[in-house]
Chains A and B, each alone.
Chain A
């Protein structure tokens, strides 16, 4: 043996055994008293890694947003500070101690928020047209969401470190896989919004667009268009958000106005929307049912339910299943294919549930970015 190495004291069997025994006891004592702390530090490290990733996503998103505004809007001054202010924009929900009338308050708040957003984007991007303003607004909203997620996770991370609370850190660690999925979805959405590409959420709007494409359209509510389309001897009032800018329109208000125009003489309302799939289900699977198929803060859903209840009109729902990631990233081929299958289902529903000469409403719900009409 190399003499230098042979002089290492652990060459002797007894010495080695002694070292191993001491190491074992040491480990035992350390884990007995510091086990929880070690676990805490392992969890902190895990959260830290995700937090770094979130910070990177937020920074990159901000960079993309600023770049897009500069490229499209050609601002005359530096908009960086303005974008940073925009990312921390807050909307304070109305008080719900007395819930009566809260929907209208919420609607007012959302309207104010929307117009304020549009005005701010117009100021930041003076040369952008209406479609581009809508798209830029979507880009900024996705960046805002990433900024919020990052700050929220950072808040609990710092709180956990300050208090050295295993429970705060572990809750965070357990939730992080789901939060990261959502953050990644927003990050993917940015690209689609910047380029004006159709997103998965727009599958309902795509169905409506395919039905109304060759017919005359009119604006029935803010950013919402409707066309009278003859289908199998019935008149279908097909409505969707006005595209191709990123926009969800006001479909609930649209349905309300059509029903009021027709004095309730509508046989059925068919709503088509994207819905979250369960794990194990395939993207583009279609589910049918009843009820107002529309997400969001609930104002449009409330309006649809109120007016259809008033005139006792049945509401049919068609849901196209997709993942949260698919919903806000560029539309997958499966969803394009699903749109044609949905049209077949609509025709079948109309044949089964209505008679010749009846009028129906078909509402394609979702963000219509990249989809005209």
Chain B
């Protein structure tokens, strides 16, 4: 049911095109410097423009084709807050499989009573861009 294509011919073609374009751009850049020192300023500008354009397109094609890492499967850090109902001692630790809110879990380090999980949460660090409208 879930087969994936092993060879991506488009990608190989893209690499060849980019490589050819880069070589030509570098040749154009070299010619631009040569012609400039020969006093042919106008021609040098043509070559320079062509060369820069070629390099820019190559870089764009490469970056656009680069697959972005899918981050949604990465582990998220979750905190579990435990509270002792007897002495109100609070502690925070990393989430463990099997934790749930209102579960009696670890012993209180102060009075040895079983502590209750009062919260399980993740903290989102990245600030969302604020739109001033």
Residues of chain A whose beta carbon lies under 8 Å from any beta carbon of chain B: 1-2, 5-6, 8, 11, 13, 16, 53, 55-60, 62, 84, 184, 187-188, 191, 195-198, 206, 209, 213, 243-244, 279-280, 329-333, 335-336, 370-373
Contact = CB atoms under 8 A, between A and B. Distances in A.
Interface stretch (B15-23, B30-38, B106-114): B30-38
B46 A372 contact: no
A372 B101 contact: yes
Interface in B89-133: 95, 97-103, 119-124, 131, 133
Contacts of A209: 101-102
Contacts of A333: 121-124
Given A5-B30, A371-B102, A372-B101, A13 B120 contact: no
Contact of A191 (B2, B75, B100, B101): B75
Contacts of B121: 198, 330-333, 335-336
Nearest to B101: A371
Contact of A330 (B27, B30, B35, B122): B122
A206 B70 contact: no
Contacts of B88: none
B123 A332 contact: yes
A213 B73 CA distance: 33
A2 B101 contact: no
What is the size category of the interface that chain B forms with chain A? 20 to 34
Majority SS at the chain B contact face = loop
B86 to A, nearest CB: 14
A11 B100 contact: no
Contact of B100 (A53, A198, A279): A198
A206 B43 CA distance: 73
B56 interface: no
Contact of A198 (B30, B46, B120, B131): B120
A8 B70 CA distance: 46
Contact of B101 (A195, A206, A279): A206
Contacts, number: 99
A8 B72 CA distance: 51
A281 B72 CA distance: 23
Nearest to A334: B124
Contact of A1 (B35, B70, B75, B103): B35
B70 A57 contact: yes
B131 A280 contact: yes
B102 A59 contact: no
A331 B76 CA distance: 11
Contact of A57 (B1, B72, B103): B72
B78 interface: yes
Given A2-B34, A8-B31, A198-B120, A372 B72 contact: no
A371 B100 contact: yes
Contacts of B75: 191
B9 to A, nearest CB: 14
Given A2-B34, A60-B73, A195-B95, A13 B102 contact: no
B43 A11 contact: yes
Interface string B1-31: 1101000000000000000000000010011
A168 to B, nearest CB: 22
B116 to A, nearest CB: 9
Given A5-B30, A188-B72, A332-B122, 13 more contacts: A5-B31, A13-B43, A59-B4, A188-B76, A191-B76, A196-B97, A197-B120, A209-B101, A209-B102, A213-B102, A279-B131, A370-B120, A372-B103
